[in-house]
Structure 1
Amino acid sequence: MRTRTQVGIIGAGPAGLLLQHMLARHGVDSVLVENRSREYCEKRQRAGVLEHGTVELLKEIGLGDRMMREGLLHSGIYLQFAGERHHLDFPSLTGGRTLTVYAQTEVVKDAIAAGHPIFFEVSDTAVRDIDTERPVLSFTDADGVAHEVECDAIAGCDGFHGVSRPSMPSLRVSERTYPFGWLGILATVPPSTDELIYAHSPHGFAMHSMRSPEVSRLYIQVDPDEKIDDWSDARIWEQLQIRLGHPGWTLNEGPITEKGITPMRSFVAEPMRSGRLFLAGDAAHIVPPTGAKGLNLAVADVKVLADALVRLLVEGKSDLADAYSETCLTRVWRSTWFSWYMTSMLHRFPVSSFSDPAEADFQEHLQIAQLRQVTSSEAAARNLAENYAGWPLP
């Protein structure tokens, strides 16, 4: 079946869904394809901390009503180390910017509910002719019907393992793999804290976050080769108690409903555009979750891309499209730096990652010194807060 649209979008994660919604508001037609089911997309657990700019954008494009009712407004984070716990107040450090805890799954549900056409459970997705003004998106739908969609542009929002990035003829890849991962859990228990806790510990990093007033999200640093089957619920809670423990504070425990191990890495592919194929979100870059940048970075990408495609396809001007990759990569590398900064400051690096075992002790002393600087210097605290709360969207 041969059809025609203005923009073909691959991937029904936040990037693809928000791009489709933003384009529709300007009268730009699109076709969105996703190889997973709708149920999978709406249940997939990912990020949950939204920057100030992301929140304002969702409100502006009409997808913020439920977020404003159910999201948890946060004014900062706690940094815990050496038996101390310090709060960084973001509004006072950033001129009023705050955070909102609202799970990525909920953002996805809100965007799908907007009702734009989406093909779920597709297969054999491919792109071709990206160096022309009529690139083609092909796929087979859930009923086995083969489609060829002639487009004006194609947006690859299909994540690290998608088909879009391999379709780019020339890429420069920069990456770093960290010698640890995160074991994350969802627990049906009210959060034990009012703000996120980032804990540096001799036993390894830990983090206390939340998804709602009834559901907690917690993480511990583990070896990247660990098997989740080796981590019983009791062992997980024991390590969380050790790493997050603080005098006068109690960590609530409850039933664990989900757990998994995520590797920690940084990845940037550039350029983010080739001809009429544009990459956005995890298709082009991945950052460690320590700085809460992944989802917010994808939102920034599609804000730039939506503006560029509207200008190209509605106004007939290519200046924003031509600048797309450079515009996005400036923010991408800044976010990559901040994620590295938070990761390097808070995690315990294994002795095996150093050529000399004494360097591990040296590294830990540097981390404590850096944490003391952040929690005692207003300038250092402001730098962290401004980066964490996010910069204005382009």
Structure 2
Amino acid sequence: MSSKLQLVCPSEHDIYFNLDGDGYAEPINGSVKLHYNEALVGTAPQLQLRLIRTVASENKQTAISARESQFLRKIKRPFLNTTKQEESYKIESCAIINETTRHISLFDQTRTSGCTNSINIPFSIAVPVNTPGTTTTSLGKITYSIIATMLTPGRDSFNTAQPIHLARKLIPDRHSIQHIRSYSKSPVINQITLSQDIPVDSNSWLSACANISLRQAMTMTQRDSEFKCATIRTIHWRVEEVTRLVTQDENNLQYTDNADFLKEESVREICSGKHKGYWSSHHNPLVKQRHQKSEEQDSTLDIPLEISIPKTAHLSSRVDETFYTSTPSRVLGLSGEDSPMDESNVIIVEHRLKLDFITGEDTFDTRSNNLVDRKPHRSTLSAIFPLLIENGVKCDFEAVAFSNPPRYEDISLSPPEYITLE
């Protein structure tokens, strides 16, 4: 019986992070069971463990062919061979995230010819906190696996691998985040501040508020007896998932949206809708009766946005470009050897909210405050804001990061020898 390896490790692993960029991830702990024959007895083989990230893009032509084959199998199932599975992804890059190596001593004085022995070798691989999570996107996917390789003194090797799912989980350390956009060319809106509540436990519901600063709260017309107020009547919103396949320069570790580096981009609509209403400054007589604002806020108005994301949306995990530049890794060739490639392709994922404002203009009489004229509604501007859509957990970041005692870097394969004191 030949020697072989059996890898025992978890199929999922969590990475925790907060909004300040701090993160924590426990090491991946497991064991390798080595079944060895008598040829290895008395030797010191080398065990190498690697955490590997694979970025694969969707092979469009193969994917179409696979869908056509699936359709044909439905209508001609008895006449087609259904055992062959077509590969619909093309590997773009393969990188070593972390690795560990140790020498194993094998001794067995009671062995018999042809007998196979086995030992368990525990291991621990650290996971960088900025490692992108496992995700499948419209352009491709990011996957991880642990590969165990045993190198014998004769430089012969045998290995085994197991996939592992890395999940990033947000620990919120504040209630909301804000993004500000200014519009110098808009005749109605001067500035928009979008405040998004931090999601916890579920990403199926987004709660946000758009604070809109009007360029002019109220203006006089050519007639001294009339004044006009800008109004917002409808907001069309759209949640998008933007996926980019980008070429990374290994020498500079930089990314750009330049056509030379951006290989492909996909914009997928997650959900969309509209909010109808009547929003204006407190100078507007139609609004003043509903709520009163102070003079300091005479040109701003708050519009709440409640957005429900369907469960069938299948959102991809957010992948920032800094995850790749700050994570130590080496490009790995498809043959398993370190590759001298200068470039590799990576996947970047972000979510954003697009807002389209439909505005109008109402004219009032200065003495009676009656509405005397109303201009037709028109689209004024489109605003785009980044969205934070993450799986959150209700716990304290420091409690998670410091809840476990430190681990020994090396674990003995056998108990120590005890000395009897007389």
Structure with bigger gyration radius: 2
TM-score (norm 2): 0.20
The structure whose residues are more often helix, as a share, is 1
Structure number with higher strand proportion: 2
| TM-score, length of structure 1 as denominator length | 0.21
